[in-house]
């Protein structure tokens, strides 16, 4: 009995390191964003869905380490370094996070999700053959500003002045600014452009826009403004200001309209790419995926609150109407 007990004891002692080694053997995916976690929980869910599609389930055969810079952009290099020391097998991040990761490593694979042109921004050399240790998904947010302006003018035709919120100093938002200003000039639409980089800037912009006669507002793209979705919806309601933004979630939260591609779909694809890389594919051989589906969403409940009535023919062009 003692011998059996000894053998069992040895087996148990040996099993613990084996379990520990098995746990350590799980590849780690680093999830890095320049924003806070809220209101982006859904993007993490989408990332996990993409990983699962590739055969990787969290806590079973993959681990996920998340880092959020809480809109403090100077923290990104530190957070990227933390993930690299972990070490992680692949890093998934938004535009600013991907740039920080690219600056930090030339060996760990990186999968980006960006709303701009990754070639122009220096993330990759070529969309079809990115090369190096990086690839990803672009959902073309910044280049849709003129279309959003067109829709806002169509659905709120009495708005002689339209305010535009822009998060300054990113290539994505600067392109959007230029596109919206040029589109407005072409049709004789007066626009007021406000640079916003903080909560205080946003509140001041709403107040100034209303004081200067804005009858509607175009909320620009970019991670910072997207992270302030709920507070801007509340401000728009307080000032009775019709808005259009870039994501379906903006309309779901109570904004009047949204037009753009799906970030959720982009992060699902990023998760799928991360899984393929974990299986051995090289990121530089995976072509950058470009969004092809665009969604126009109208919140009819918000429209009624604002006293707006839309002709059925106008509503018919929407992909989704929230009632």
Per-residue pLDDT tens for 225-235?
A: 988 999 999 99
Give the residue, 37 or 255, on which the prediction is more confident.
255
- From CA 118, how far away is CA 189, in angstroms rounded? 31
DSSP string, 296-313: EEEEHHHHHHTT----HH
Taking residue 300's Cβ as centre, other Cβ atoms within 10 Å add up to 17
Is 90 exceeded by the pLDDT of residue 15?
no
Work out the average pLDDT over 73-88.
96
Residue of 293, 279, 269 lying closest to 135 (CA atoms): 269
304 pLDDT higher than 70: yes
Instruction: Identify the pLDDT of residue 168.
Output: 85
pLDDT value of position 25: 78
Compute the distance between CA of residue 270 and CA of residue 47 in angstroms, rounded to an integer.
Answer: 7
pLDDT band of residue 292 (cuts 50, 70, 90) is confident
pLDDT at residue 12 greater than cutoff 90: no
The pLDDT of residue 141 is: 67
pLDDT of residue 17: 44
User: What is the C-alpha to C-alpha distance for residues 202 and 230, in angstroms, rounded to an integer?
Assistant: 12
Judge whether residue 276 has pLDDT over 90. yes
CATH 3.60.20.10 is the classification of domain 142-260+295-322? no
pLDDT surpassing 60 at residue 296: yes
* 254 compared with 11, residue with greater pLDDT: 254
Band of residue 116 on the pLDDT scale cut at 50, 70, 90: confident
Handedness of CA 139, 175, 181, 228 (dihedral sign): positive
Residue-level pLDDT at 24: 53
Q: Please tell me the CATH superfamily of domain 24-140+263-290, with its number.
A: Response regulator (3.40.50.2300)
Residue 323 has pLDDT above 70, yes or no: yes
Domain(s) of CATH 3.40.50.2300: residues in the chain? 24-140+263-290, 142-260+295-322
pLDDT tier for residue 40 given thresholds of 50, 70 and 90: confident
Query: What's the CA gap between 211 and 316, in Å, rounded?
Result: 34
Find the mean pLDDT for residues 132-153: 89
Q: Across the chain, what does the average pLDDT equal?
A: 90
Whose structure tokens read 């993409």?
A: 50
Cβ neighbours of 71 (radius 10 Å): 19
């Amino acid at each position: 009995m003692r011998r059996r007990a000894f053998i069992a004891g040895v087996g148990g002692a040996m099993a613990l390191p084996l379990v520990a080694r098995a746990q350590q053997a799980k590849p780690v995916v680093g999830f890095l964003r320049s924003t806070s976690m809220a209101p982006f929980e859904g993007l993490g869910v989408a990332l996990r869905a993409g990983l699962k599609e590739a055969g990787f389930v969290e806590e079973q055969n993959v681990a996920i380490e998340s880092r959020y810079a809480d809109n403090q952009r100077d923290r990104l290099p530190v957070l990227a370094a933390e993930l690299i020391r972990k070490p992680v097998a692949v890093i998934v991040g938004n535009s600013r996070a991907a740039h920080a990761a690219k600056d930090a490593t030339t060996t760990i694979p990186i999968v980006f999700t960006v709303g701009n042109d990754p070639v122009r921004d220096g993330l990759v050399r070529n969309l079809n053959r990115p090369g190096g240790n990086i690839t990803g998904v672009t959902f073309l947010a910044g280049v849709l500003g003129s279309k959003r302006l067109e829709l806002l003018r169509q659905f709120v035709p009495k708005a002689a002045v339209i305010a535009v919120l822009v998060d300054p100093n990113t290539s994505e938002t600067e392109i959007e600014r230029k596109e919206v200003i040029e589109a407005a000039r072409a049709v004789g639409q007066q626009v007021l452009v406000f640079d916003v980089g903080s909560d205080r800037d946003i509140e001041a912009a709403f107040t100034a826009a209303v004081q200067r006669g804005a009858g509607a507002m175009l909320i620009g793209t970019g991670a910072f403004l997207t992270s302030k979705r709920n507070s801007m919806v509340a401000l728009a309601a307080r000032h009775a200001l019709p808005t259009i933004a870039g994501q379906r979630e903006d309309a779901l939260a109570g904004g009047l309209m949204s037009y753009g591609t799906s970030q959720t779909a982009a992060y699902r694809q990023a998760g799928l790419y991360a899984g393929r890389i974990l299986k051995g594919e090289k990121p530089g051989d995976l072509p950058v995926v470009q969004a092809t589906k665009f969604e126009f969403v109208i919140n009819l409940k918000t429209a009624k609150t604002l006293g707006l009535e839309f002709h059925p023919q106008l509503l018919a062009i929407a992909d989704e109407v929230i009632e």
